[in-house]
A and B are shown apart, each in its own frame.
Chain A
Amino acid sequence: MTTVFKKSVPGREGVWPAKPKKDVSEFIPAELLRDSAGMPSLSELDVVRHFTRLSLKNYGVDGNFYPLGSCTMKYNPKFTEKAAALPGFARLHPVMPQLKGAGRHCQGALEVVYETEQLLSEITGMSGFTLQPMAGAHGELTGAMLIAAYHKDKGNKKTKVICPDSAHGTNPASATIAGFEVISIESKDGIISPEALAEVLDDDVAALMMTCPNTLGLFETHLPEIVKMLHEKDALLYYDGANLNAIMGKLRVGDAGFDVVHVNLHKTFATPHGGGGPGSGPVGVSEKLLPYLPISRVKKLEDGSFYLDYNYPKSIGYIAPFYGSFGVFLKAYAYILRLGREGIVRASENAVLNANYMRKKLEDYFEIPYNKLCMHEFVSSAAKQAENGVRALDIAKALLDKGYHAPTIYFPLIVKECMMIEPTETESKATMDAFIDDLIEIAQIAETDPDALHAAPIYLPASRLDETAAARNMELTDDIG
């Protein structure tokens, strides 16, 4: 489809404000000015049609089943959008509470921040939360910075962070960017073995970053021992909250001994991901890390009013300009209030129920490398199909043709021809049954007509795209190439 820039017709009228009385050159010398900014000239209808047509080339949860493992693409209730768009929130300037007396003009927003922190603390069992991190990986970096601040303050010389080989790539990247050396350990039977941990666990270890249930969908059954081993070395335990959707009400990471956790609100707490963001990655900490949380912190006075507290001399400082992705965590706040205690527990229960149901229904057709009770997702493999030359990628593309988004493929890296399936709790049995039938049909085609799958997708706006050429040609704007 033609780019919006190529559709420009000079002179065509868009959404214009009034014409200024004077030319900008009367205020700013000509040598500091430019001529054209190269923006297109289009009518409002041109723009509406262009972006409506683009939207029709996209899959979203609203239109399709989206079993993308590790990404938790559940339904996002519509009412939360209404809440975030209320002018009392949307029009509020972020420096308002910094204007001394004007703090009283944003009490409602500060209350949202305060209560969201409280709710997340109760769900995870942590002592305190910051909502500043603007995405999951940003939360990881914040967590790693908190860990560094803790050790520095205690006079510990700790330089290493342990990441299991199944960890999200963001874990090692975040630890590195916070100044740590990353040590990788291999999983055994899909989980962390205390023996492998013992081999690398020395006095230099600052923390272990763990996802539990892990990226194979398995619960880390050696967790009690691992917690003990780390704490004996005064090393901290970091919980990657990507899989929190599996355990709410069943396990609180704070009670289990974790010191830091980040939560991906767009996953567990149903805020739309918008095709790649914005996210929101609040970080919770155990009591010993409270003094290091980013500033400012929202505090409640005895009279019930709220204010910003900057008096944390050990704080890691500012990791966001203000309070984080306010519009995003406002939606999570509304979602948590809507579900309540019972609803939150039920969400995890049904997420796990659905994943296990699909695992059992598919086990005769696809290899399930760790075929035992899983949490909210499970890993299957196209290893059997690969013998016929049909790879996980081909199956993914065939699923697109069937009208679904594909599962996550080739992650975690430790499983061959990996397909990671996560149905989430909001999908019905009927949807899952239809998907299972389609997937079984694809498995049968893989045996009889592998080439048909190599050609997929054929019903989408694009067939398979040449990624190698894209990287080589570097055509990254309409003006290059």
Chain B
Amino acid sequence: MPYVPHSPEEVREMLEVIGVSTVEDLFAEIPAEFRPKSFDLPEGKSEMEVLDRLEHLAAKNTTNMTSFLGAGFYDHFIPSAVDALSSRGEFYTAYTPYQPEAAQGTLQAIFEYQTAMTRLMGLPYANASVYDGGTALYEAAMMAVRKTRRRKIIVSEGLNPIYRVMLDSYTTNLNLELVTIPHKNGATDIKAISAAIDKETAAVLVQNPNFFGSINDFTDLFKTVHENKAVAVMSTYPVMQSVLKTPGDMGADIAVADGQSLGQPLSFGGPYLGIMTCNKTLVRQMPGRMAGRTTDTEGRTGYVLTLQAREQHIRRHKATSNICSNQALCALRALIHLCLLGEEGLRRTAGLSIERAHYAAERLTAIDGVELFTEGPFGNEFAITLPVNAYEVIDALTERSIIPGFPIGRYYEGMEKGLLVACTEKTTEEQIGIFAEILRGTLS
């Protein structure tokens, strides 16, 4: 039997110690009427057979097309050392660091991850990560609700719609009011958001760059948020955050992001990690784990999980959140990724992605009937308006091994001709050229 080491003789010896005659006797307390009505699983297979099966399934997915898909999740290059280091068994097969002396590796890595995230976001405190960017956004909103004891949450429609639908689900049973402020031609409508803020507002949730790729400075907006004693929450994209003005510099109280673009494969949606950072007044409202630096009995520097009085295992139903684990391994990958690229590598990654996106925008909008939708500055992603429904273009180009982007109409009514196009440092000028030419041919 795979992975179970006992010989029949050893089993006999153990049963004798216990004082029963068969293994089945150990389950005597489970009543007969509760025994399984069926247990119809396939027969076990050899490792080789299972791998064959999985290779067969993997081959049914097409991953060799040129893709301009983004929508918050990006195909950045992952240095080989990220896999090599993060798959070391000492990291990989460890549990939550409940015995800190035996988990200094994990704990120091979390502490360093927290440091990296606070620097990226320009805010002083970070947690050890939560499940994903959407969860991080929801948790940020709840931090604001607890802090302000108010119930109105203002949400920009420029926020990733995938996260907004999550926010809707999570808040259904809570006595909260979500107010969504429509975008204005793809731009975050700062004026309308400002006008909606009042003394009942707990939080204002915005994104930079927003879903359409548009880059903003929210400094003035956040001033209005603070004048009303509400909490300013900004969702970001960590790779762009290496070059963009930080949430902290704009005056955000909480900054969140999905960390997928930092060393995590796309992997059909997960596992990813939710990044959360905040200022000092909110740190005790932060959900999940945090690692802190301290000393041992010899005075040596060491690390522990800290501020646990906020957490579910101590506070039970009064905890800041029900979140118990973090995405430790994903956080480790993000940290290693950032360290390997370093300051210069990260800036180049962002710079190349931006440069390629602007080249793509130029090439695509040179086609008759294709217009740039995103107003103002944008980073590595932008929206265009096509003369036809975006799905038609996606279907036609996919046939030619190009996935041209994300159909905006899927989430935004009346924008069926909108296409969201993303580039990374992996996108080549040649690929962009082929995309543009095939699109031109398709539309003519």
Contacts and interface: CB of A to CB of B under 8 A. Distances in A.
A169 B314 contact: yes
Contact of B29 (A5, A125, A221, A473): A221
Nearest to A481: B293
B413 interface: no
B11 to A, nearest CB: 7
Given A316-B169, A465-B302, A476-B114, A99 B44 contact: no
Given A92-B267, A174-B322, A461-B101, A471 B339 contact: no
A479 to B, nearest CB: 6
A272 B4 contact: no
A406 B92 CA distance: 18
A231 interface: no
Interface stretch (A51-59, A196-204, A383-391, A437-445): A51-59
B173 A473 contact: no
A273 B96 contact: yes
Interface in B72-103: 72-73, 75, 77, 79, 81, 83-85, 87-103
A477 B118 contact: yes
Given A34-B249, A247-B30, A478-B115, A470 B292 contact: yes
B89 A134 contact: no
Contacts of A136: 324-325
Contact of A34 (B163, B243, B410): B243
A321 B166 contact: yes
B346 interface: yes
B430 interface: no
Contacts of B358: 27
B36 interface: yes
Given A60-B91, A89-B61, A325-B270, A82 B51 contact: yes
A219 interface: yes
A466 B294 contact: yes
B17 interface: yes
B90 A100 contact: no
Interface in A59-87: 59-63, 66, 68, 71, 73-77, 79, 81-87
Contact of B15 (A59, A320, A353): A353
Given A32-B245, A177-B321, A275-B329, 18 more contacts: A14-B345, A44-B81, A47-B81, A77-B2, A89-B268, A93-B266, A101-B398, A176-B318, A223-B31, A224-B34, A274-B332, A321-B162, A326-B267, A338-B2, A373-B26, A425-B3, A470-B306, A475-B294
A397 B267 contact: no
A106 B343 CA distance: 36
Contact of B326 (A71, A112, A277, A336): A277
A66 B354 CA distance: 47
B6 A137 contact: no
A320 B269 contact: yes
Contact of A338 (B45, B135, B268): B45
Contacts of A55: 85, 88, 90-91, 105
Interface stretch (B123-131, B199-207, B364-372, B435-443): B123-131
A173 B5 contact: no
B131 A138 contact: yes
Nearest to A348: B27
Interface residues of A, number: 204
A308 to B, nearest CB: 12
A455 to B, nearest CB: 8
Chain B CB within 10 Å, residue with most, of A168, A340, A344 = A340
Interface size class of B (residues with CB under 8 A): 35 or more
Interface in B102-157: 102-106, 108-112, 114-116, 118-120, 122, 124-126, 128-129, 131-135
A15 interface: yes
A107 B60 contact: yes
A91 B327 contact: no
B119 A38 contact: yes
* Closest 7 A/B residue pairs (Cβ): A274-B329, A340-B44, A88-B58, A322-B269, A62-B89, A108-B60, A276-B328
B398 A105 contact: yes
Contacts of A318: 134, 162, 165-166, 168-169
A388 to B, nearest CB: 21
B306 A102 contact: no
Given A135-B324, A481-B293, A91 B266 contact: yes
B131 A135 contact: yes
A360 B425 contact: no
A476 B26 contact: no
Given A24-B243, A91-B75, A125 B339 contact: no
Interface string A446-477: 00000000000100111111110111011111
B13 A429 contact: yes
B67 interface: yes
Contacts of B163: 321
A52 B313 contact: no
A86 B55 CA distance: 7
B321 A173 contact: yes
A51 B313 CA distance: 30
